[in-house]
A and B are shown apart, each in its own frame.
Chain A
Amino acid sequence: MADKVITIREALSAALREEMQRDERVFIMGEEVGVWGGTYAVTRGFIDEFGEKRVRDTPISEMVIAGAAVGAAMAGLRPIAEIMTINFAFLALDAIVNHAAKVRYMFNGQFTVPLVIRTTTGGGKQLGATHSHAPEVIFAHFPGLYVGVPGTAYDAKGMLKASIRDDNPVLFVEHSTMLQRRAAVPEDPDFVLPIGKSDVKRRGKDVTIVTYGKGLEWSMTAADTLSKDGIEAEIVDLRWLRPLDLEPVFESFKKTNRCVVVEESLPMFNIGAEVAAQIQQEMFDYMDAPVKRVSAMDIPLPYSREIELMALPSAEKVVAAVKELV
């Protein structure tokens, strides 16, 4: 089957539709997933196609959306629970961290939790401090859970399908400003990508940029600019924050000896901190410079356009960070 150029939104819809057609046990539950068609229109038309049994509108109850999905998964279904945006996942933190991620371990393997929690992340839309978080790193802190953050339509489809087929709980995080991005995506219903594999999105020899999600976009733009100045960046898209696959980062670093980590997280205790620590641990002999981090500023995001953008990472900030290193 051929590839087709589609948006991330379409890729997500296709992944959901194909997996629901493939497996009766897969169903969707969440706020506005049915009649409304999904707040981001990812599940538009699904309620007509699959019916109310499999496309279930819920009350505005994040704790029970996540918790009931855990119970349903333990009891043999394969729920896809939607939390409208990751900002609201804070209300479901206990169900995600204590139950989705832990019931298997705590009861010594008696239970399996084949669950996907889909949600959107990110700032940059003037939604103010409460609605602009990009906190996926918080969830990646906990063993028992996988955290995937696709940056392209290709990855969105392959990673989501993999998440639905996997028997472990996955927090699947989509960036709300990237849903219109296009890429060629396989139409083959058995196209799935492996869980926990990073991907080199651009080859280069001068610096390693480690990123994921929206960071991929800033980094790719930055790389084009840098290339005009004769600096070739290699870009490793982590895709998964857990399992975290740093092998391609280490391979790249052996060649470039320099690294910049780009992410929308807040600057303290973020992915950059983890990557820097691991590079220092594993690649000490290859280091020519300290690892640099580009992230959001250490403040709540404001409403007003100019200062919101000021607080977020950008391609320009990535360019500047790289130029300090090479």
Chain B
Amino acid sequence: MARQPNKETLLDWYRQMVLIRRFEERCAELYQQGLIGGFLHLYIGPEATGVGAVAALREQDHVITAYRDHGIALARGLDVNRVMAEMLGKRTGVSGGKGGSMHLADRDLHMWGGYGIVGGHLPLAAGIALAAKYQGKDEVVVALMGDGSTNIGYFHESLNLSAVWDLPVVWLVENNQYGMGTAVGRASGAVEIVNKANAYCCGADGHGMLQGPRVDGMDVMAVYDAISEAAEHARKYGPVLVESLTYRLEGHSMGDPQRYRTKEEVESFQTKGPIGRFRALLSDKYKGVESALDRIDEEALKAVDDAVEFAKNSPDPTYDDLVSHVYVD
């Protein structure tokens, strides 16, 4: 059973979700102003999935994800100033301004990065899990991915290998119903993605992929419980596939005309957003908590303001940065 989070922990999850939301809103503005370049994939809508999943991990565990990575990075505790600096391509950024929005990592926090190639990080997750197991460490990897990436070869090869080798990986599909503009049902033979686990289960001695739950990805508590349980299984036995049902409230990336869905559909999810829902739950559970939540809201805004200040005042990378770290010298 998952550790039951106390009030302080729950408020911290709320803080993280609000921080992510404010951070992403600000990124959108900075993109419009031309201060952020490249592709920008916002994590507005799925905050509860990222925060709940990361909360279920221990410090020594590992997180890896795709390019929609800002929320995961912030949930894992990457410095908000340095994440914003990376957005602005500054030398103080978490990846020195060389990775950009899609490539946020912090080795020390076991955040192994965001990755821009759909599915490209999934075999890396298997390898990180192999290293943990090989070295006899009691660690698990949570590998987040989009629904669209479950149709790519990397997904199948990685899940299969993790099943054959009993690797401690929680494969977590963030099913936000679309891969760019293609709805899940138009791209995936299995519409309930979690059923794909069955293809890699079970060997003669019962080993192989465990089919985990389809969890309400807009409910941070539910995600936390599901991933806590999955991580426990992964630590003891091997891989699990979990599907989180979520929704992105913004376009795929900036400038997405969103011809593939209706305004009404988006609005229907807006009212079910994970932050408002969690706030209501907290208000219900703890009498008089509103003032604390308001304070958290203000602090999040301030943290993002400060991060933008920090990023704007940071130096650009230099020629030396351009040419460094191609190889180990």
Contact = CB atoms under 8 A, between A and B. Distances in A.
Q: Which of A63, A77, A98 has the most chain B CB atoms inside 10 A of its CB?
A: A63
Nearest to A76: B131
A251 to B, nearest CB: 25
A244 B98 CA distance: 26
A56 B128 CA distance: 16
B120 A110 contact: no
Nearest to B99: A106
Contact of B328 (A59, A106, A112): A112
B157 A63 contact: yes
Interface in B129-153: 129-132, 134-135, 153
A191 interface: no
B107 A72 contact: no
Contacts of B328: 104, 112, 166-168
B86 to A, nearest CB: 9
B126 A67 contact: yes
Contacts of A79: 127
B123 interface: yes
Contact of A67 (B62, B120, B165): B120
A309 interface: no
Contacts of A230: none
B134 A64 contact: no
Interface stretch (B207-215, B247-255, B265-273, B319-327): B319-327
B95 A74 contact: no
B74 interface: no
Candidate in B124, B126, B131 with the most chain A CB atoms within 10 angstroms: B124
Contacts of A284: none
A68 interface: yes
B239 interface: no
B175 interface: no
Interface string A97-125: 01100011111111110000000000000
- The listed residue with most A CB atoms (<10 A of its CB), out of B106, B123, B328, is B123
B113 interface: yes
B325 A104 contact: yes
B201 interface: no
A68 B135 contact: no
Contact of B127 (A67, A105, A106, A110): A67
A3 B232 CA distance: 54
Interface residues of B, number: 42
Given A94-B120, A108-B98, A72 B157 contact: no
Interface in A46-69: 53, 56, 58-59, 61, 63-64, 66-69
Contacts of B62: 75
B105 interface: yes
B325 A61 contact: no
A143 interface: yes
A109 B103 contact: no
A104 B326 contact: yes
B122 A67 contact: yes
A98 B157 contact: no
Contacts of A218: none
A107 B99 contact: yes
Contacts of B153: 63
Contacts of A112: 328
Given A53-B134, A98-B117, A167-B328, A110 B123 contact: no
Contacts of A144: 326-327
A71 interface: yes
Contacts of B117: 94, 98-99
Contact of B160 (A61, A72, A77, A168): A61
Contacts of B96: 108-109
B106 A110 contact: yes
B282 interface: no
A39 to B, nearest CB: 19
Given A70-B127, A109-B324, A111-B107, 4 more contacts: A67-B120, A68-B130, A77-B130, A144-B327
Interface of B: 62, 95-99, 103, 105-107, 112-113, 115, 117, 120, 122-132, 134-135, 153-154, 157-158, 160-161, 164-165, 321, 324-328
7 contacts: A66-B123, A68-B158, A70-B124, A71-B112, A99-B117, A106-B103, A107-B105
**Which 5 interchain pairs have the tightest Cβ spacing?**
A71-B127, A67-B123, A108-B96, A75-B131, A71-B124
